[in-house]
Structure 1
């Protein structure tokens, strides 16, 4: 006799639970079908029966096969119903911040072909849109003043040796750099420098003035600074002096201890020597040179202290005048490369290197975001202003 396990169950077994249909009904149907398909006496203990039950065995086997087929069909129907009952995947919500409707793609601005009051043909000045003059036409950078880093006061206040110390001044005169001591200003006119940088154009390397175009030439450098404008060019552009190389050069050419040099490099964040420290190195070597000379020590030792004194002085001089940087706090050790042999200092083209250094800083100063400036030589702009006033 088949056991009816579905008695007492209602049709609400498959009601929804939280939006999902319960699978209790399909599982109940599976149990009902499988339990009905169990043949009589198919499992359990063997029980002796009558001959009539033995005669009904073939018929019961046919019934088992038919009922097994019915079970497969029912299982297939239940699986199909379960697939139908599964809810469709919920669509992903679109982020309103990334939709095209709220954030449309930016349209490229039309190409600029001219500026009101400025150049009408940009083939010669393609980067004029990034020039400070273009910002002024748009009403920007109205109160911009360029601060120039000037170390002239440091050079004027530098404690120089007596003029009768011939071993010192003879080498400085032979280097061709002594005139830099007389070309410094304690104060500069920021307004004058700001006005000239607004009229400088990097493409042509000239100032666009109301009268005509003007520029600074090598002849101006020679007349104003009186430094060499011929010879070998300084070739350290694009190369950097490592900390190890800087320590070696400072110890060999400045008599600067490596441990103290390491502390100074760490303070300056690179292979640089601050002006106060460089002045101390100069005075220390000068004192040792005079002391060794009074004690009548060997010529090699006296000569070593003398050369270190002169190198420290020349390094201070060029770092505070012709190669002033925007920090106005230190000088690069890389310039010691050109001071190794003091007899060949005048063979370097200091004037041309100074002019290229100035042009590089003028290019940077012609941009709106430039606030302070290095590498300026105030005397050159004074000359141009005097020419305009004539």
Structure 2
């Protein structure tokens, strides 16, 4: 394995030299509650109905860590005794139901009147003590949108659906180092529900997962972001024998079978 490394130090060097096993921590933030049934129409309209159901999960970090030890940044593939393999856009589409064609999901250079944007699309905005914000805390989203009134209007349902999707985007699909909030750049993309599906959400989810896996090859890496639910489900589907042993600390050695 060491011969595959062409430049930066790789965690596999530590493993090859009989170093200690490393278990990464996941930067994920699940919602902890399922969406209200009245939101399903809007979630289906925007193409997030499948991912919206990932509100809780049980991640196997020994398995995820072992996969990171086999990742090659040069090729964006896992190097296994049987050959190379990787998570593809097809996997994203089949397992998460996200669109993989369409416009690129990019950030915006500036957002004017942040509070006005929140009031317009969410019907609420953080308090004055958070006036200098560029992102919404997950705790704020949950406190304000977890429960719906029985007589909620269509506008309130749409606002709640946007809040739910915002949490899913940054808490489950694309977690990063700021895993306690979601940037407002995504809120502007949810303004028109009929246009949300035109973005290639699957592409950015896969790209961020690749980037996070590249970061975890560094020997000093301690955590990992990206869509770990996708990574784990892909591994267990492609290599089902791992299901019975993925909770054990020697998962890495199983790839040598």
- For the residues of structure 1 that align with 2:192 and 2:204, how far apart are their CA atoms? 19
Residue 178 of structure 1 aligns to a residue whose secondary structure is: coil
- For the residues of structure 2 that align with 1:196 and 1:257, how far apart are their CA atoms? 40
| 1:177-231 CA-partner distances (Å, limit 9, x unpaired) | 0101334653211110110001101110000111100111111111111111111
Query: Which residue of 1 is the match for residue 136 of structure 2?
Result: 273
1:264 equivalent among 119, 130, 133: 130
Specify the structure having the higher radius of gyration (Cα).
1
Which runs of no fewer than 5 residues in structure 1 stay unpaired? 1-116, 294-302
- For the residues of structure 2 that align with 1:365 and 1:358, how far apart are their CA atoms? 11
Pair 1:149 & 2:27 matched: yes
Pair 1:320 & 2:200 matched: no
- For the residues of structure 2 that align with 1:196 and 1:133, how far apart are their CA atoms? 11
Cα distance change on mapping 1:151 and 1:283 into 2, 3 Å: closer
Q: Is the contact between residue 174 and residue 226 of structure 2 (CA under 8 Å) also seen in structure 1?
A: yes
- For the residues of structure 1 that align with 2:198 and 2:190, how far apart are their CA atoms? 11
| 1:131-190 CA-partner distances (Å, limit 9, x unpaired) | 1112434555x24211112334x2xx32532x3x3xx43222111101013346532111
Cα distance change on mapping 1:356 and 1:187 into 2, 3 Å: same
**Count of residues in correspondence between the two structures:** 241
- For the residues of structure 1 that align with 2:56 and 2:124, how far apart are their CA atoms? 30
| 1:42-74 CA-partner distances (Å, limit 9, x unpaired) | xxxxxxxxxxxxxxxxxxxxxxxxxxxxxxxxx
Q: Is the contact between residue 136 and residue 182 of structure 2 (CA under 8 Å) also seen in structure 1?
A: yes
Query: Which residue of 1 is the match for residue 59 of structure 2?
Result: 188
- For the residues of structure 2 that align with 1:211 and 1:199, how far apart are their CA atoms? 12
Q: Give TM-score, length-normalised by structure 1.
A: 0.55
Query: Which residue of 2 is the match for residue 126 of structure 1?
Result: 6
Pair 1:346 & 2:230 matched: no
Q: Is the contact between residue 200 and residue 362 of structure 1 (CA under 8 Å) also seen in structure 2?
A: yes
C-alpha deviation, 1:378, in angstroms? 2.8
Q: Is the contact between residue 183 and residue 225 of structure 1 (CA under 8 Å) also seen in structure 2?
A: no
Cα distance change on mapping 1:195 and 1:245 into 2, 3 Å: farther
Q: Is the contact between residue 224 and residue 380 of structure 1 (CA under 8 Å) also seen in structure 2?
A: no
Query: Which residue of 1 is the match for residue 220 of structure 2?
Result: 369
1:214-233 aligned within 5 A: 214-233=85-104
2:210 equivalent among 347, 359, 380: 359
Q: Is the contact between residue 222 and residue 228 of structure 1 (CA under 8 Å) also seen in structure 2?
A: yes
Which runs of no fewer than 5 residues in structure 2 stay unpaired? 242-257
Query: Which residue of 2 is the match for residue 174 of structure 1?
Result: 45
1:1-390 aligned within 5 A: 118-119=2-3, 125-127=5-7, 129-138=8-17, 140=19, 142-152=20-30, 154=31, 157-158=32-33, 160-161=35-36, 163=37, 165=38, 168-183=39-54, 185-236=56-107, 245-257=113-125, 260=127, 262-264=128-130, 270-283=133-146, 286-287=148-149, 290=151, 293=153, 304-389=155-240
Q: Give TM-score, length-normalised by structure 2.
A: 0.81
The structure carrying a bigger helix percent of its residues is: 1
- The two structures, once aligned, show a CA RMSD in angstroms of 2.7
- For the residues of structure 1 that align with 2:34 and 2:238, how far apart are their CA atoms? 35
Residue 309 of structure 1 aligns to a residue whose secondary structure is: helix
C-alpha deviation, 1:290, in angstroms? 3.1
- For the residues of structure 1 that align with 2:115 and 2:219, how far apart are their CA atoms? 38
